[in-house]
Amino acid sequence: MAEITMYGADWCGDCRRSKRFLDSNSVAYNYIDVETDTSASDKVIEINGGMRSIPVIVFPDGTHLTEPSDNALKEKLEALKLL
């Protein structure tokens, strides 16, 4: 199964919270900083239909969550049997 990719930025509180959730639950993911990777920033805008909202977490099944709560993230990971 492909890995989880999280697009975020260091200044983003929601990004830090989602990273903390994934880390504390030992969920492996690839983190891409949209501030240092302009193509990643473009990808976020594409995923979000023109908005630059972060974090965007892309899952192995091709779906994504934007600015998820910890509960929404937990539910998604459980549904994918990753948690």
- pTM (2 d.p.): 0.93
- Show the CA angle centred on residue 79, arms to residues 11 and 82, nearest 5°: 65
CATH code, domain carrying 63: 3.40.30.10
Domain range for 19 is 4-79
* Count of domains for the chain: 1
pLDDT along the chain (83 residues), means of 10: 87 97 96 94 94 96 96 97 91
Q: Which of 19, 83, 20 is nearest to 55 (CA)?
A: 19
